[in-house]
Amino acid sequence: MKILDGKKISQDIKDELKKLVSNRIANGLKKPHLAAIIVGSDGASLTYVGSKVRACDYVGYDSTLIQLEESITEELLLEQINRLNKDKSVDGFIVQLPLPKGIDEQKILLAIDPNKDVDGFHPTNFGKMSLEMESFIPATPYGIIELLDRYKIETSGKNCVVIGRSNIVGRPVSILLSQKSKKGDATVTLAHSRTKNLKSITRNADIIISALGIPEFLKSDMVKEGVVIIDVGITRVPNDSSPKGYSIIGDVDYKKVSKKSIAITPVPGGVGPMTISMLLKNTFLACQRKD
């Protein structure tokens, strides 16, 4: 069984980007600049955004963090977005999700300039991705594809089951895996909460990507011998014996499922770190496009 070490691959990608940034500077070009807007003080969101900013420092990007009150109005948030759309020094930016109740997420995502939408959530980018046109690919699906690629896991002709149909992970990764492209050509089933007889579907899968957010949902009797498992789940579960007071638990019963797998991502240290490095990659591409 091979552990798909997202932490290591993510570090490799960051080191590659760091070199590319040094080359840009040596050639008199600007550093990439990523901005992030966070609304409210949700612990998990603050942790993710903090990691994104630290990763920017590591690779040598400029970064800007805009923290806004939970009570901010939609109108004022749209003003901040417009400001970033116009700011020539900013190559790309993200609005950390989820947003507080009362703010229309779709309206906010639509307001982001697609050329700066390094999350790839704007309909223009999502549409282009779906049509296999050049676009920003959402960071988590992009990270999964990159991980499969760097570990040389064959997807062509494989039965691939994606569990969870979110716009951020499940749906885009299902689209990418079915395309005629790198790490595509798979036969994809997108399963979700209304799927019947899930076990009969997952037991046929060569590759399972679980993006549900239900701790240890995928049990060993749901998978076949020799399966490849990509676990996107990162649920915080209270744990008094951990210094943080919680543990991060994936969607997969790792201990038992790993025994039947030929390759599996751990949680933490699998898909999570890949998301950050692919966001940095998109930001580099956004910066390069502006040259």
Q: Give the residue numbers marked as catalytic.
A: 52, 96, 119
Q: Any idea of the CA torsion for 229, 48, 113, 127, to the nearest 10 degrees? A: 10
Identified binder of ligand GUN from the candidate list 80, 96, 125, 277, rule CB under 6 A: 96
Does position 97 bind ligand GUN by CB under 6 A?
yes
Identity of the residue, 17 or 118, whose beta carbon is nearer to ligand GUN in the bound complex: 118
Contact 129, 184 (CB under 8 A): no
Helix, strand, coil percentages, rounded to 5, for the chain: 45, 20, 40
Task: Indicate the residue whose CB is closest to ligand GUN.
Answer: 97
In the complex, the smallest distance separating the C-beta of residue 135 from ligand GUN, rounded to whole angstroms, is 15
Contact 17, 277 (CB under 8 A): yes
Contact 267, 233 (CB under 8 A): yes
Q: Any idea of the CA torsion for 285, 267, 141, 214, to the nearest 10 degrees? A: -140
Residue 116's Cβ-count burial label (10 Å; 0-12, 13-18, 19+) is: buried
Contact 128, 134 (CB under 8 A): yes
For residue 277 the two structure tokens come to 């490095």
Identity of the residue, 97 or 214, whose beta carbon is nearer to ligand GUN in the bound complex: 97
Identity of the residue, 105 or 154, whose beta carbon is nearer to ligand GUN in the bound complex: 105
3-state SS assignment for residue 34: strand
Question: Which range touches ligand GUN (CB under 6 A), out of 15-23, 93-101, 218-226, 231-239?
Answer: 93-101
In the complex, the smallest distance separating the C-beta of residue 96 from ligand GUN, rounded to whole angstroms, is 5
Identity of the residue, 96 or 261, whose beta carbon is nearer to ligand GUN in the bound complex: 96
Q: First CA to last CA across the chain, in angstroms?
A: 44
Does position 95 bind ligand GUN by CB under 6 A?
yes
Does position 211 bind ligand GUN by CB under 6 A?
no
Number of residues in contact with ligand GUN, rule: CB under 6 A? 9
Identity of the residue, 20 or 97, whose beta carbon is nearer to ligand GUN in the bound complex: 97
Mask for 237-276, x = binds ligand GUN (CB under 6 A): --------------------------------------x-
In the complex, the smallest distance separating the C-beta of residue 279 from ligand GUN, rounded to whole angstroms, is 7
Kindly identify the residues of this chain, within the stretch 111-170, that bind ligand GUN according to CB under 6 A.
119, 139-140, 168
Q: Which of 11, 230, 281, 12 is nearest to 120 (CA)?
A: 281
Q: Which residues bind ligand GUN (CB under 6 A)?
A: 94-97, 119, 139-140, 168, 275
